[in-house]
Amino acid sequence: MASSMMSFPSVSPSAAMSFQDKCKDKLKPGSAFFGKEKQPLSMKTKSHGRVTMAVAVNASRFDNITMAPPDPILGVSEAFKADTSDMKLNLGVGAYRTEELQPYVLKVVKKAENLMLERGENKEYLPIEGLAAFNKATAELLFGADNPVLHEQRVATIQGLSGTGSLRVAAALIERYFPGAKVLISAPTWGNHKNIFNDARVPWSEYRYYDPKTVGLDFEGMIADIKEAPEGSFILLHGCAHNPTGIDPTPEQWEKIADVIQEKNHIPFFDVAYQGFASGSLDEDASSVRLFAARGMELLCAQSYSKNLGLYAERVGAINVLCSSAEAAVRVKSQLKRIARPMYSNPPVHGARIVANVVGNPDFFNEWKDEMEMMAGRIKSVRQKLYNNLSAKDKSGKDWSFVLKQIGMFSFTGLNKAQSDNMTDKWHVYMTKDGRISLAGLSAAKCEYLADAIIDSYHNVS
């Protein structure tokens, strides 16, 4: 049915006028509504039985809503797509690419999906806590299937919406049960961490982490800042393959971090988004979490299957809370569910089934481990190639070895914002403004080009 609305061009109302005021104005007898001036509202005449009235159509409540800034990470891909240059390179978002720079669906995932298709499983709601088989598999993957904490049923696990969603549920738990408690996040950290804690209304502050002088870990600063935090703070730790720096503590350093956390009665809160992607070994990459668990510490741990199983868009992850007793785990799990219910009711089933099928089937699991090693291996080899090119082509004598020392999908180049902008504007290399490049998006073929871009940006732009 064609609308007989007359529309007028939008006029920004004065900010001082509340929506209610605007409404009252329009409805006042003798108001300007029937007049000839331009109105911000559309007018419509409507018959209601015997009476014909012209009634104001609602003004928009969204007049004062401004455009949100583009997401610093996801916005990069959008900008990349819009670039028409042949040379363009997307080193923005941490999504694994093959040497041909194509997205990669793991073979084992395809197999699992086909199996699922054949079985023709239904699409019923999962319980609020998610797929039971997935929850079991994910906790075992994290802690190790033989870990006593699992036998003792001390871990509350619920499936979450990948890493982000799991972190968010944990943040809500902190806000609800530890009002006023702070989360300490590394400087720098993944850009979305602060958004998550902000939106969950959990106060946060930073602990020193990245040392620009060494392009390595500011270990003393980190320990000092953790020590200084109010007792009972939550310390957000990247389990492996720190994002964005790629700089991980050594096992000895992890021990010391655990010491100071215990001393200060803090609670460790791990974000494990790259298990398997750091060293290539799923077990090795979980060693930091297992170290803390072995000390009898309670901890929280968010997991994601976006990268290591390539399930990015399926949004599969989990939040685990390791408690000191099975009884506490039961209570905590019930409260995690209570947070999830008004957020999304229950998590999406498809990705969880894939994970459960892969991890639960010994053949698939072994295949996965092989593919994991292959992906991590490709990244290690482009690191090496990039380093080789940087060393060979940069005549200044700058030490580029940090590229080799860093681990995981990302490298923190040490480039500042202006230099990062140069990478994009001059070289069509897309990266985040904090100087992070995703090596997962780098091919061996492009290493030389990238080295040239980095050398140019580092030396010629300040």
Partner 1 sequence: MASMMTRRSMSLMKSRSMMIHGSSRLMSTSWWKHVEPAPKDPILGVTEAFLADPSPHKVNVGVGAYRDDNGKPVVLDCVREAERRIAGNLNMEYLPMGGSNKMVDETLKLAYGENSDLIKDKRIAAIQALSGTGACRIFADFQKRFSPDSQIYIPVPTWSNHHNIWRDANVPQRTYHYYHPETKGLDFASLMDDVKNAPNGSFFMLHACAHNPTGVDPTIEQWKEISYQFKVKGHFAFFDMAYQGFASGDPERDAKSIRIFLEDGHLIGCSQSYAKNMGLYGQRVGCLSLVCEDEKQAVAVKSQLQQLARPMYSNPPVHGALIVSTILGDPDLKQLWLKEVKGMADRIIGMRSSLRENIEKLGSPLSWEHITNQIGMFCYSGMTPEQVDRLTQEFHIYMTRNGRISMAGVTSGNVEYLAKAIHEVTKAA
Site for partner 1 in 149-208 (CB under 8 A): 161-165, 168, 172, 177-182, 192, 195-196, 198-200, 205
Give the C-alpha separation, 393 to 409, whole Å. Answer: 23
Which residue is catalytic, options 22, 26, 307, 446? 307
Candidate ranges 331-339, 377-385, 399-407, 413-421; the one touching partner 1 (CB under 8 A): 331-339
In degrees and rounded to multiples of 5, residue 410 shows phi and psi of -115, 155
Find the shortest distance in angstroms from Cβ 452 to partner 1. 28
Find the shortest distance in angstroms from Cβ 286 to partner 1. 20
* The residue to which tokens 């331009």 are assigned: 38
Residues within window 99-158 making contact with partner 1, judged by CB under 8 A: 102-105, 109-110, 113-114, 117, 120, 122-128
How would DSSP label each residue in 281-339?
A: -HHHHTHHHHHHHHTT--EEEEEE-TTTT--GGG-EEEEEEE-SSHHHHHHHHHHHHHH
Residues within window 38-97 making contact with partner 1, judged by CB under 8 A: 40, 42, 44, 46, 48, 55-68, 71, 74, 78, 93, 95
Find the shortest distance in angstroms from Cβ 400 to partner 1. 31
Binds partner 1 (CB under 8 A): choice among 86, 146, 231, 252: 231
Cβ count near 4 (within 10 Å): 9
Residue closer to partner 1 by CB (options 220, 263) is 263
Residues within window 262-301 making contact with partner 1, judged by CB under 8 A: 262-263, 265, 267, 295-298
Residue closer to partner 1 by CB (options 234, 402) is 234
Residue closer to partner 1 by CB (options 203, 216) is 203
**Among the listed residues 452, 443, 451, the one whose alpha carbon sits nearest the alpha carbon of residue 382:** 443
**Among the listed residues 13, 108, 99, 168, the one whose alpha carbon sits nearest the alpha carbon of residue 443:** 99
- 20 is an interface residue for partner 1 by CB under 8 A: yes
**Residue 227 falls in the annotated catalytic set:** no
* The residue to which tokens 């455009």 are assigned: 67
Give the C-alpha separation, 299 to 193, whole Å. Answer: 18
Residue closer to partner 1 by CB (options 184, 386) is 184
Give the C-alpha separation, 426 to 219, whole Å. Answer: 35
Find the shortest distance in angstroms from Cβ 123 to partner 1. 5
Find the shortest distance in angstroms from Cβ 265 to partner 1. 5
Binds partner 1 (CB under 8 A): choice among 148, 212, 232, 251: 232
Find the shortest distance in angstroms from Cβ 282 to partner 1. 20
Residue closer to partner 1 by CB (options 200, 376) is 200
CB 439 within 8 A of CB 379: yes
Give the C-alpha separation, 417 to 457, whole Å. Answer: 10
Binds partner 1 (CB under 8 A): choice among 348, 408, 435, 441: 348
Collapse the DSSP code of 250 into the 3-class scheme (helix H, G, I; strand E, B; otherwise coil) and give the result: coil
Find the shortest distance in angstroms from Cβ 87 to partner 1. 22
Residue closer to partner 1 by CB (options 114, 460) is 114
Q: Is the peptide bond before 188 cis (omega within 30 degrees of 0)?
A: yes
213: which residues sit within 8 A by CB, 6+ positions away? none
In degrees and rounded to multiples of 5, residue 159 shows phi and psi of -65, 140
Which residue is catalytic, options 182, 190, 204, 385? 190
Residues within window 241-260 making contact with partner 1, judged by CB under 8 A: 259
Residue closer to partner 1 by CB (options 280, 347) is 347
Give me the torsion for CA of 450, 451, 455, 456, rounded to 10°: -40
**Residue 271 falls in the annotated catalytic set:** yes
Find the shortest distance in angstroms from Cβ 338 to partner 1. 4
H helix or E strand, kind and range, residue 424? helix 417-427
Residue closer to partner 1 by CB (options 179, 212) is 179
295: which residues sit within 8 A by CB, 6+ positions away? 258, 262
Site size with partner 1, rule: CB under 8 A: 113
**Residue 146 falls in the annotated catalytic set:** no
Distance set, CA 82 to CA 23, 75, 145 (Å): 42, 11, 46
Catalytic residues: 190, 271, 307
